[in-house]
Amino acid sequence: MTRTLTRRRVMALTWPMIFANALIPLVGVIDTAVIGLAGDATDIGGVALGAMVFAVFYWSTYFLRMGVTGFTAQALGAGDMAESQRTVARALLIGLVLGLSFLALKTPISVLAFNILQGSDTVEAKGAAYVSARFWGAPAALGLFAVTGWLIGAGKTRLALMVQAVLAVTNGALDAWFVLRLGWGPTGVAAGTAIAEWLAFLLGLLLVLRAFKTDRATLIATLSLSQLLDTGALKKLFGLNFNLFLRSIFLTFGFSWFINAGARQGDVLLAANQVLLQFIMVWAFVLDAFAYTAEAETGRAFGRGSVVDLRRAVRLTSEFAFACAFGFAVLTLFGGDWVINQLIADQAVREAAIGFLPWCAAVPILGIGSWQLDGIFTGATRSAAMRNSSLASLLIYLIFDALFAPSGNAGVWTAFLIYFVARGLTLLVAYPALERGLAPKQA
Protein backbone atom coordinates (compact mmCIF):
# COMPACT_ATOMS: atom_id res chain seq x y z
CA MET A 1 0.00 0.00 0.00
CA THR A 2 1.40 3.40 -1.02
CA ARG A 3 1.33 6.12 1.62
CA THR A 4 0.78 9.67 0.41
CA LEU A 5 3.52 11.95 1.70
CA THR A 6 2.25 14.65 4.06
CA ARG A 7 3.91 17.40 6.04
CA ARG A 8 3.29 15.42 9.22
CA ARG A 9 5.05 12.39 7.74
CA VAL A 10 7.96 14.55 6.56
CA MET A 11 8.51 15.74 10.12
CA ALA A 12 8.00 12.23 11.54
CA LEU A 13 10.76 10.96 9.25
CA THR A 14 13.03 13.97 9.71
CA TRP A 15 13.13 14.76 13.42
CA PRO A 16 15.01 11.56 14.40
CA MET A 17 17.65 12.34 11.77
CA ILE A 18 18.03 15.90 13.09
CA PHE A 19 19.12 14.47 16.43
CA ALA A 20 21.09 11.64 14.81
CA ASN A 21 23.03 14.09 12.64
CA ALA A 22 23.65 16.34 15.62
CA LEU A 23 25.32 13.36 17.32
CA ILE A 24 27.77 12.77 14.43
CA PRO A 25 30.16 15.64 15.26
CA LEU A 26 29.70 14.83 18.96
CA VAL A 27 32.09 11.86 18.62
CA GLY A 28 34.95 14.20 17.72
CA VAL A 29 33.95 16.68 20.42
CA ILE A 30 34.01 13.93 23.05
CA ASP A 31 37.44 12.74 21.91
CA THR A 32 38.85 16.25 22.16
CA ALA A 33 37.17 17.05 25.49
CA VAL A 34 38.37 13.88 27.22
CA ILE A 35 41.95 14.17 26.03
CA GLY A 36 41.85 17.86 26.97
CA LEU A 37 40.96 16.95 30.55
CA ALA A 38 43.67 14.34 30.97
CA GLY A 39 46.43 15.19 28.49
CA ASP A 40 48.85 17.94 27.61
CA ALA A 41 49.26 19.92 24.40
CA THR A 42 51.07 17.07 22.64
CA ASP A 43 48.22 14.67 23.45
CA ILE A 44 45.66 17.11 22.05
CA GLY A 45 47.79 17.75 18.97
CA GLY A 46 48.32 14.02 18.42
CA VAL A 47 44.58 13.36 18.53
CA ALA A 48 43.95 16.30 16.18
CA LEU A 49 46.44 15.07 13.57
CA GLY A 50 45.38 11.43 13.93
CA ALA A 51 41.71 12.34 13.58
CA MET A 52 42.53 14.35 10.44
CA VAL A 53 44.19 11.29 8.88
CA PHE A 54 41.21 9.09 9.71
CA ALA A 55 38.74 11.74 8.50
CA VAL A 56 40.19 11.58 4.98
CA PHE A 57 39.52 7.83 4.90
CA TYR A 58 36.13 8.22 6.59
CA TRP A 59 34.58 10.87 4.35
CA SER A 60 36.06 9.48 1.14
CA THR A 61 34.05 6.28 1.75
CA TYR A 62 30.79 8.04 2.68
CA PHE A 63 29.46 7.08 -0.75
CA LEU A 64 28.44 3.73 0.76
CA ARG A 65 25.78 5.39 2.91
CA MET A 66 24.44 7.53 0.06
CA GLY A 67 24.37 4.73 -2.50
CA VAL A 68 22.56 2.30 -0.21
CA THR A 69 19.90 4.88 0.66
CA GLY A 70 19.05 5.59 -2.97
CA PHE A 71 18.92 1.98 -4.17
CA THR A 72 17.03 0.84 -1.06
CA ALA A 73 14.36 3.53 -1.42
CA GLN A 74 13.91 2.75 -5.11
CA ALA A 75 13.62 -0.98 -4.48
CA LEU A 76 11.05 -0.52 -1.72
CA GLY A 77 9.15 2.00 -3.84
CA ALA A 78 8.89 -0.69 -6.50
CA GLY A 79 7.74 -3.20 -3.86
CA ASP A 80 10.94 -5.26 -4.17
CA MET A 81 12.03 -6.04 -0.58
CA ALA A 82 14.43 -8.75 -1.80
CA GLU A 83 16.44 -6.28 -3.90
CA SER A 84 16.65 -3.84 -0.97
CA GLN A 85 18.08 -6.69 1.11
CA ARG A 86 20.62 -7.52 -1.57
CA THR A 87 21.56 -3.83 -1.79
CA VAL A 88 22.67 -3.61 1.83
CA ALA A 89 24.33 -7.04 1.66
CA ARG A 90 26.43 -5.98 -1.34
CA ALA A 91 27.39 -2.74 0.41
CA LEU A 92 28.39 -4.71 3.51
CA LEU A 93 30.64 -6.91 1.39
CA ILE A 94 32.26 -3.84 -0.20
CA GLY A 95 32.63 -2.19 3.21
CA LEU A 96 34.21 -5.32 4.69
CA VAL A 97 36.77 -5.58 1.88
CA LEU A 98 37.63 -1.87 2.01
CA GLY A 99 37.71 -1.81 5.81
CA LEU A 100 40.03 -4.81 6.06
CA SER A 101 42.24 -3.31 3.34
CA PHE A 102 42.57 -0.04 5.24
CA LEU A 103 43.29 -1.99 8.42
CA ALA A 104 46.02 -4.01 6.71
CA LEU A 105 47.56 -0.82 5.29
CA LYS A 106 47.30 1.28 8.45
CA THR A 107 51.06 1.41 9.00
CA PRO A 108 52.05 2.67 5.52
CA ILE A 109 49.05 5.04 5.56
CA SER A 110 50.26 6.45 8.87
CA VAL A 111 53.87 6.80 7.67
CA LEU A 112 52.78 8.57 4.48
CA ALA A 113 50.36 10.89 6.29
CA PHE A 114 52.85 12.00 8.92
CA ASN A 115 55.50 12.62 6.29
CA ILE A 116 53.08 15.16 4.80
CA LEU A 117 51.62 16.67 7.99
CA GLN A 118 53.67 19.09 10.06
CA GLY A 119 54.07 18.43 13.77
CA SER A 120 56.70 17.86 16.43
CA ASP A 121 58.16 14.38 16.81
CA THR A 122 56.17 13.83 20.00
CA VAL A 123 52.88 14.99 18.47
CA GLU A 124 53.38 12.86 15.37
CA ALA A 125 54.24 9.80 17.48
CA LYS A 126 51.03 10.20 19.48
CA GLY A 127 49.08 10.84 16.29
CA ALA A 128 50.47 7.62 14.81
CA ALA A 129 49.41 5.72 17.94
CA TYR A 130 45.89 7.15 17.55
CA VAL A 131 45.72 6.11 13.88
CA SER A 132 46.98 2.59 14.66
CA ALA A 133 44.24 2.01 17.22
CA ARG A 134 41.47 3.83 15.36
CA PHE A 135 41.83 1.82 12.15
CA TRP A 136 40.76 -1.34 14.01
CA GLY A 137 37.28 0.15 13.75
CA ALA A 138 37.51 0.74 9.99
CA PRO A 139 35.44 -2.33 8.92
CA ALA A 140 32.76 -1.40 11.45
CA ALA A 141 32.72 2.26 10.35
CA LEU A 142 32.06 1.24 6.74
CA GLY A 143 29.53 -1.39 7.79
CA LEU A 144 27.78 1.33 9.78
CA PHE A 145 27.49 3.41 6.61
CA ALA A 146 25.74 0.49 4.89
CA VAL A 147 23.23 -0.31 7.64
CA THR A 148 22.48 3.37 8.33
CA GLY A 149 21.92 3.92 4.61
CA TRP A 150 19.42 1.05 4.53
CA LEU A 151 17.55 2.33 7.60
CA ILE A 152 17.24 5.83 6.09
CA GLY A 153 16.17 4.47 2.70
CA ALA A 154 13.57 2.26 4.36
CA GLY A 155 12.19 5.18 6.39
CA LYS A 156 13.39 3.66 9.70
CA THR A 157 14.86 6.95 10.90
CA ARG A 158 14.14 6.32 14.59
CA LEU A 159 16.24 3.18 14.41
CA ALA A 160 19.02 5.18 12.73
CA LEU A 161 18.84 7.64 15.65
CA MET A 162 19.13 4.73 18.10
CA VAL A 163 22.30 3.51 16.39
CA GLN A 164 23.92 6.98 16.45
CA ALA A 165 22.95 7.45 20.10
CA VAL A 166 24.59 4.14 21.06
CA LEU A 167 27.72 5.17 19.15
CA ALA A 168 27.96 8.54 20.94
CA VAL A 169 27.16 7.29 24.45
CA THR A 170 29.43 4.25 24.22
CA ASN A 171 32.24 6.36 22.79
CA GLY A 172 31.98 8.84 25.65
CA ALA A 173 31.92 6.15 28.34
CA LEU A 174 34.86 4.21 26.89
CA ASP A 175 36.90 7.36 26.30
CA ALA A 176 36.42 8.37 29.92
CA TRP A 177 37.39 4.89 31.16
CA PHE A 178 40.41 4.37 28.93
CA VAL A 179 41.81 7.90 29.26
CA LEU A 180 40.72 9.31 32.62
CA ARG A 181 40.86 6.02 34.52
CA LEU A 182 43.51 3.93 32.76
CA GLY A 183 45.64 6.78 31.40
CA TRP A 184 45.96 5.43 27.87
CA GLY A 185 46.07 8.88 26.26
CA PRO A 186 45.47 9.21 22.49
CA THR A 187 45.53 5.42 22.08
CA GLY A 188 42.67 5.17 24.59
CA VAL A 189 40.62 7.80 22.75
CA ALA A 190 41.01 5.92 19.48
CA ALA A 191 40.32 2.52 21.04
CA GLY A 192 37.15 3.81 22.67
CA THR A 193 35.87 5.16 19.37
CA ALA A 194 36.76 1.97 17.46
CA ILE A 195 34.97 -0.25 20.00
CA ALA A 196 31.94 2.06 19.97
CA GLU A 197 31.82 1.79 16.17
CA TRP A 198 31.78 -2.01 16.38
CA LEU A 199 28.97 -2.01 18.95
CA ALA A 200 26.92 0.49 16.94
CA PHE A 201 27.48 -1.49 13.73
CA LEU A 202 26.40 -4.79 15.31
CA LEU A 203 23.29 -3.11 16.74
CA GLY A 204 22.49 -1.57 13.37
CA LEU A 205 22.95 -4.91 11.61
CA LEU A 206 20.58 -6.57 14.09
CA LEU A 207 17.97 -3.84 13.56
CA VAL A 208 18.23 -4.20 9.78
CA LEU A 209 17.80 -7.98 9.96
CA ARG A 210 14.75 -7.58 12.20
CA ALA A 211 13.28 -4.98 9.83
CA PHE A 212 13.57 -7.42 6.92
CA LYS A 213 10.69 -9.46 8.42
CA THR A 214 11.75 -12.41 6.25
CA ASP A 215 12.04 -16.03 7.33
CA ARG A 216 15.51 -17.57 7.40
CA ALA A 217 15.11 -19.85 4.38
CA THR A 218 13.81 -17.04 2.15
CA LEU A 219 16.57 -14.71 3.33
CA ILE A 220 19.28 -17.29 2.58
CA ALA A 221 17.89 -17.77 -0.93
CA THR A 222 17.64 -14.00 -1.47
CA LEU A 223 21.21 -13.43 -0.34
CA SER A 224 22.78 -16.33 -2.18
CA LEU A 225 26.23 -15.65 -3.63
CA SER A 226 24.94 -15.82 -7.19
CA GLN A 227 22.33 -13.16 -6.40
CA LEU A 228 24.77 -10.88 -4.59
CA LEU A 229 27.37 -11.15 -7.36
CA ASP A 230 24.90 -10.40 -10.16
CA THR A 231 26.99 -8.61 -12.79
CA GLY A 232 24.40 -5.99 -13.72
CA ALA A 233 23.63 -5.05 -10.12
CA LEU A 234 27.30 -4.82 -9.18
CA LYS A 235 28.03 -2.65 -12.23
CA LYS A 236 25.28 -0.23 -11.22
CA LEU A 237 26.48 -0.17 -7.60
CA PHE A 238 30.13 0.41 -8.46
CA GLY A 239 29.26 3.05 -11.06
CA LEU A 240 27.13 4.95 -8.55
CA ASN A 241 29.70 4.66 -5.77
CA PHE A 242 32.62 5.73 -7.95
CA ASN A 243 30.81 8.90 -9.01
CA LEU A 244 29.88 9.65 -5.39
CA PHE A 245 33.49 9.04 -4.38
CA LEU A 246 34.68 11.62 -6.94
CA ARG A 247 32.03 14.05 -5.71
CA SER A 248 33.32 13.66 -2.14
CA ILE A 249 36.89 14.29 -3.29
CA PHE A 250 35.88 17.50 -5.10
CA LEU A 251 33.93 18.75 -2.05
CA THR A 252 36.79 17.95 0.31
CA PHE A 253 39.16 19.86 -1.97
CA GLY A 254 36.82 22.86 -2.03
CA PHE A 255 36.57 23.13 1.75
CA SER A 256 40.32 22.55 2.13
CA TRP A 257 40.90 25.39 -0.34
CA PHE A 258 38.75 27.70 1.78
CA ILE A 259 40.78 26.86 4.88
CA ASN A 260 44.02 27.41 2.98
CA ALA A 261 42.71 30.70 1.56
CA GLY A 262 42.15 31.84 5.15
CA ALA A 263 45.67 30.77 6.07
CA ARG A 264 47.01 33.14 3.41
CA GLN A 265 45.35 36.00 5.31
CA GLY A 266 47.33 35.33 8.50
CA ASP A 267 46.92 33.36 11.73
CA VAL A 268 44.12 35.48 13.21
CA LEU A 269 41.86 35.31 10.14
CA LEU A 270 42.65 31.61 9.70
CA ALA A 271 41.49 30.96 13.26
CA ALA A 272 38.43 33.20 12.82
CA ASN A 273 37.39 31.40 9.63
CA GLN A 274 37.86 28.05 11.36
CA VAL A 275 35.56 29.16 14.19
CA LEU A 276 32.88 30.28 11.73
CA LEU A 277 33.24 27.05 9.78
CA GLN A 278 32.03 25.20 12.88
CA PHE A 279 28.71 27.07 12.67
CA ILE A 280 28.41 26.01 9.05
CA MET A 281 29.19 22.36 9.83
CA VAL A 282 26.56 22.19 12.59
CA TRP A 283 23.87 23.77 10.41
CA ALA A 284 24.82 21.53 7.48
CA PHE A 285 24.51 18.38 9.59
CA VAL A 286 21.12 19.43 10.98
CA LEU A 287 19.69 20.57 7.65
CA ASP A 288 20.94 17.38 5.99
CA ALA A 289 18.17 15.62 7.91
CA PHE A 290 15.68 17.08 5.44
CA ALA A 291 17.93 16.01 2.57
CA TYR A 292 17.89 12.46 3.97
CA THR A 293 14.09 12.46 3.93
CA ALA A 294 14.23 13.82 0.39
CA GLU A 295 16.59 10.95 -0.53
CA ALA A 296 14.21 8.30 0.76
CA GLU A 297 11.04 9.80 -0.69
CA THR A 298 12.65 10.61 -4.05
CA GLY A 299 13.90 7.04 -4.24
CA ARG A 300 10.43 5.69 -3.52
CA ALA A 301 8.96 7.96 -6.21
CA PHE A 302 11.49 6.60 -8.71
CA GLY A 303 10.73 3.05 -7.62
CA ARG A 304 7.05 3.69 -8.29
CA GLY A 305 7.80 5.62 -11.49
CA SER A 306 5.75 8.60 -10.33
CA VAL A 307 6.61 12.18 -11.29
CA VAL A 308 3.71 13.36 -9.12
CA ASP A 309 5.19 11.69 -6.05
CA LEU A 310 8.64 13.04 -6.91
CA ARG A 311 7.42 16.62 -7.13
CA ARG A 312 5.47 16.25 -3.89
CA ALA A 313 8.55 14.89 -2.10
CA VAL A 314 10.69 17.74 -3.42
CA ARG A 315 8.18 20.40 -2.44
CA LEU A 316 7.28 19.18 1.05
CA THR A 317 10.80 18.41 2.22
CA SER A 318 12.14 21.67 0.76
CA GLU A 319 9.47 23.79 2.48
CA PHE A 320 10.71 22.74 5.89
CA ALA A 321 14.38 22.85 4.87
CA PHE A 322 14.25 26.43 3.57
CA ALA A 323 12.26 27.61 6.61
CA CYS A 324 14.82 26.09 8.99
CA ALA A 325 17.71 27.48 6.94
CA PHE A 326 16.29 30.98 7.29
CA GLY A 327 15.88 30.46 11.04
CA PHE A 328 19.46 29.25 11.43
CA ALA A 329 20.70 32.27 9.45
CA VAL A 330 18.89 34.60 11.87
CA LEU A 331 20.28 32.70 14.87
CA THR A 332 23.80 32.96 13.50
CA LEU A 333 23.52 36.65 12.69
CA PHE A 334 22.02 37.74 16.01
CA GLY A 335 23.27 35.05 18.41
CA GLY A 336 26.59 34.03 16.93
CA ASP A 337 28.54 36.80 18.65
CA TRP A 338 27.39 35.55 22.08
CA VAL A 339 28.54 32.00 21.28
CA ILE A 340 31.90 33.24 20.01
CA ASN A 341 32.43 35.36 23.12
CA GLN A 342 31.74 32.35 25.34
CA LEU A 343 34.05 29.95 23.51
CA ILE A 344 36.99 31.98 22.18
CA ALA A 345 39.52 33.49 24.58
CA ASP A 346 41.74 35.30 22.07
CA GLN A 347 40.35 38.83 21.64
CA ALA A 348 41.73 39.33 18.12
CA VAL A 349 40.21 36.07 16.91
CA ARG A 350 36.89 36.91 18.60
CA GLU A 351 36.68 40.29 16.93
CA ALA A 352 37.63 38.92 13.51
CA ALA A 353 35.09 36.08 13.74
CA ILE A 354 32.30 38.42 14.83
CA GLY A 355 33.20 40.80 12.02
CA PHE A 356 32.57 38.07 9.43
CA LEU A 357 29.39 36.68 11.02
CA PRO A 358 27.15 38.18 8.26
CA TRP A 359 29.01 36.11 5.64
CA CYS A 360 28.66 32.99 7.79
CA ALA A 361 24.96 33.68 8.42
CA ALA A 362 24.32 33.75 4.67
CA VAL A 363 25.54 30.17 4.20
CA PRO A 364 22.39 28.32 5.39
CA ILE A 365 20.22 30.33 2.99
CA LEU A 366 22.60 30.10 0.04
CA GLY A 367 23.58 26.49 0.74
CA ILE A 368 20.22 24.86 1.46
CA GLY A 369 19.42 24.50 -2.24
CA SER A 370 22.55 22.44 -2.88
CA TRP A 371 22.00 20.29 0.21
CA GLN A 372 18.40 19.52 -0.75
CA LEU A 373 19.27 18.80 -4.36
CA ASP A 374 22.08 16.51 -3.20
CA GLY A 375 19.44 14.47 -1.38
CA ILE A 376 17.07 14.46 -4.34
CA PHE A 377 19.75 13.35 -6.81
CA THR A 378 21.03 10.72 -4.35
CA GLY A 379 17.55 9.22 -4.01
CA ALA A 380 17.26 9.19 -7.79
CA THR A 381 20.76 7.57 -7.96
CA ARG A 382 21.82 10.19 -10.52
CA SER A 383 25.41 10.21 -9.32
CA ALA A 384 26.94 11.29 -12.64
CA ALA A 385 25.05 14.59 -12.43
CA MET A 386 26.24 15.01 -8.82
CA ARG A 387 29.84 14.35 -9.89
CA ASN A 388 29.63 16.83 -12.75
CA SER A 389 27.97 19.47 -10.56
CA SER A 390 30.61 19.07 -7.87
CA LEU A 391 33.44 19.49 -10.37
CA ALA A 392 31.83 22.42 -12.19
CA SER A 393 31.04 24.30 -8.97
CA LEU A 394 34.58 23.68 -7.70
CA LEU A 395 36.03 25.22 -10.86
CA ILE A 396 33.68 28.20 -10.54
CA TYR A 397 34.75 28.63 -6.92
CA LEU A 398 38.47 28.55 -7.77
CA ILE A 399 37.98 31.16 -10.50
CA PHE A 400 36.16 33.56 -8.16
CA ASP A 401 38.63 32.89 -5.36
CA ALA A 402 41.46 33.88 -7.71
CA LEU A 403 39.55 37.10 -8.51
CA PHE A 404 38.40 38.09 -5.01
CA ALA A 405 40.77 36.54 -2.44
CA PRO A 406 43.63 39.01 -3.13
CA SER A 407 41.37 41.77 -1.75
CA GLY A 408 41.36 40.17 1.71
CA ASN A 409 39.19 37.92 3.85
CA ALA A 410 35.99 39.52 2.58
CA GLY A 411 36.99 38.31 -0.87
CA VAL A 412 37.71 34.84 0.51
CA TRP A 413 34.20 34.67 1.97
CA THR A 414 32.57 36.13 -1.15
CA ALA A 415 34.10 33.38 -3.30
CA PHE A 416 33.06 30.78 -0.73
CA LEU A 417 29.44 31.97 -0.80
CA ILE A 418 29.49 31.85 -4.61
CA TYR A 419 30.66 28.23 -4.25
CA PHE A 420 27.48 27.30 -2.38
CA VAL A 421 25.31 29.07 -4.95
CA ALA A 422 27.15 27.34 -7.79
CA ARG A 423 26.65 23.91 -6.20
CA GLY A 424 22.91 24.51 -6.10
CA LEU A 425 22.57 26.06 -9.56
CA THR A 426 24.58 23.36 -11.34
CA LEU A 427 22.28 20.70 -9.88
CA LEU A 428 19.17 22.77 -10.60
CA VAL A 429 20.16 22.93 -14.26
CA ALA A 430 20.31 19.13 -14.30
CA TYR A 431 16.95 18.67 -12.54
CA PRO A 432 14.70 18.73 -15.65
CA ALA A 433 16.68 15.81 -17.07
CA LEU A 434 16.08 13.93 -13.82
CA GLU A 435 12.32 14.33 -14.26
CA ARG A 436 12.51 13.40 -17.95
CA GLY A 437 14.26 10.18 -17.00
CA LEU A 438 11.26 9.28 -14.85
CA ALA A 439 8.44 10.54 -17.07
CA PRO A 440 8.37 7.61 -19.55
CA LYS A 441 7.39 5.29 -16.70
CA GLN A 442 4.06 7.05 -16.27
CA ALA A 443 0.99 5.05 -17.21
Query: Which burial class, exposed, middle or buried, applies to 232 when counting CB atoms under 10 A from its CB (0-12, 13-18, 19+)?
Result: exposed
Domain residue spans of the chain: 1-229, 245-443
Distance separating alpha carbons of residues 123 and 141, to the nearest angstrom: 25
- pLDDT tens over the chain, length 443 residues: 456 788 888 888 888 888 887 777 667 667 766 776 666 667 766 776 777 777 777 777 888 888 899 889 999 888 888 889 999 999 999 889 999 998 898 888 888 877 776 566 777 788 888 888 989 999 999 999 999 999 999 989 899 999 999 998 898 899 889 988 888 888 898 899 999 999 999 999 999 999 988 877 777 877 777 778 778 777 887 888 889 889 988 988 888 788 778 777 877 787 788 778 878 888 888 898 999 899 989 989 998 888 999 999 999 999 999 999 999 999 999 998 998 887 677 788 889 889 999 999 999 999 999 999 999 999 898 989 999 999 999 999 999 999 999 999 999 999 999 999 999 999 999 999 999 887 554 43
Distance separating alpha carbons of residues 380 and 174, to the nearest angstrom: 39
Distance separating alpha carbons of residues 100 and 135, to the nearest angstrom: 9
Eight-class DSSP state of 136? G
Nearest to 128, CA basis, from 25, 12, 34, 50: 50
Distance separating alpha carbons of residues 261 and 254, to the nearest angstrom: 10
Residues 401, 261: contact at Cβ < 8 Å? yes
CA distances in angstroms from 299 to 149, 198, 261, 313, listed in the order given: 12, 29, 38, 10
Residues 91, 146: contact at Cβ < 8 Å? yes
Classified as helix, coil or strand, 117 is coil
pLDDT of 222 reads 78
Nearest to 167, CA basis, from 7, 366, 28, 300: 28
Distance separating alpha carbons of residues 337 and 370, to the nearest angstrom: 27
Helices then strands (H, E): number in the chain? 18, 0
Distance separating alpha carbons of residues 188 and 52, to the nearest angstrom: 17
Distance separating alpha carbons of residues 291 and 318, to the nearest angstrom: 8
| Residue 284 one-letter amino acid | A
pLDDT of 441 reads 46
Distance separating alpha carbons of residues 306 and 291, to the nearest angstrom: 19
φ, ψ of residue 335 to 5 degrees: the values are -120, -10
pLDDT of 442 reads 43
pLDDT of 420 reads 96
